[in-house]
């Protein structure tokens, strides 16, 4: 009579083998702890700025620091928003930043396509010129830039400061986008053209979507530089009515110093300037990260 095998008898020996516990590596734990400490050090100034923005100045100026909200107030933020120059500076910064991003991406993208896809006379000289321009210190150009903008009547104008920002940002942006363009095989376009698409349509439908992460990463770089730039704006925008937010913050601090610096309002102003950057980064951080990694690998 044949024996009947039960499920327990047919179970594999591996089922009865106890699971091995994961070994905890002290080095990995130490690196993780160090990373958390560095992240906390990096985040703390931002947290302190935002906390100070909603803290009364009397408490903020006391001898005992408070690391949690005490007497939460929106008075500091409302005082900054109702300041006569804040809204003008905000509009100026938005106009300059948006125009700069559009022009930088347009010029840098076309230049990156040219040096990555085609061999033409003067290509080497163009690449060397881009490298050389990046080496020039911005401070050494202030006098020439001021005289040029003054002669053209572009002082205190959105287009004037935007042109200088574009000239400052295009060289580095060209090098950023060059890696993305070089990483997309031209054979993809050629295959689409074999299927009946024209070259422009093949580029727009096949190549351009693959370059979107690179454009977003470059746009974030241009946004941060144009939004936070101080020294060139200080030279080219001397009029009080044409100030960008960093220049307005400086004048706001100077006016506050005459009556005793209200650090709570200064921190509130700094927070309002930083909020658009944080919001913009939160929207695009996923694509920006993938774009930077993709450019590093493919370039």
Question: pTM for this one?
Answer: 0.78
Q: How far apart are CA 299 and CA 139, in angstroms?
A: 31
Q: What is the pLDDT along the chain (299 residues), one digit of tens a residue?
A: 444 555 544 455 554 545 455 677 777 888 888 989 998 998 899 899 999 899 888 888 777 888 888 888 888 888 888 887 898 999 999 999 999 999 999 999 988 888 887 777 877 787 788 778 777 787 788 889 999 999 999 999 999 999 999 999 998 888 888 888 887 788 887 888 888 878 788 888 888 888 888 888 888 889 989 999 999 999 999 888 889 999 998 888 877 666 677 888 889 999 999 888 888 777 776 655 554 445 444 44
Q: How far apart are CA 42 and CA 45, in angstroms?
A: 7
What are the angstrom distances between the C-alpha of 234 and each of 117, 212, 219, 230?
A: 39, 34, 23, 6
228 near 234, Cβ under 8 Å?
no
83 near 234, Cβ under 8 Å?
no
């Amino acid at each position: 009579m044949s024996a009947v095998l039960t499920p327990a008898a047919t179970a594999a020996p591996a089922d009865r083998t106890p699971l091995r516990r994961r070994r905890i590596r002290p080095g990995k734990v130490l690196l993780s702890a160090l990373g958390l400490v560095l992240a906390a050090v990096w985040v703390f100034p931002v947290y302190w700025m935002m906390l100070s923005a909603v803290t009364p100045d009397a408490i903020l100026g006391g001898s005992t620091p408070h690391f949690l909200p005490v007497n939460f107030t929106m008075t500091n933020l409302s005082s900054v928003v109702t300041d006569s120059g804040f809204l003008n500076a905000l509009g100026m910064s938005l106009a300059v930043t948006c125009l700069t991003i559009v022009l930088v991406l347009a010029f840098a993208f076309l230049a990156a396509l040219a040096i990555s896809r085609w061999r033409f006379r003067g290509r080497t000289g163009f690449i060397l010129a881009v490298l050389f321009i990046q080496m020039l210190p911005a401070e050494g150009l202030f006098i020439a830039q001021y005289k040029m903008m003054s002669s053209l009547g572009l002082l205190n104008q959105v287009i004037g400061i935007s042109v200088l920002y574009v000239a400052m940002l295009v060289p580095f942006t060209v090098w950023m986008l060059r890696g993305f363009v070089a990483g997309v095989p031209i054979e993809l376009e050629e295959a689409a053209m074999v299927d009946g698409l024209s070259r422009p349509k093949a580029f727009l439908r096949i190549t351009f979507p693959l370059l979107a992460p690179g454009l977003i990463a470059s746009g974030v770089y241009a946004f941060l530089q144009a939004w936070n730039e101080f020294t060139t704006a200080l030279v080219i925008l001397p009029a009080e009515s044409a100030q960008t937010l960093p220049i307005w913050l400086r004048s706001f601090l100077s006016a506050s110093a005459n009556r005793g610096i209200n650090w709570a309002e200064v921190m509130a102003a700094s927070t309002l300037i930083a909020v658009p950057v944080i919001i913009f980064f939160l929207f695009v951080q996923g694509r920006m990260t993938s774009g930077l990694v993709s450019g590093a690998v493919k370039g």
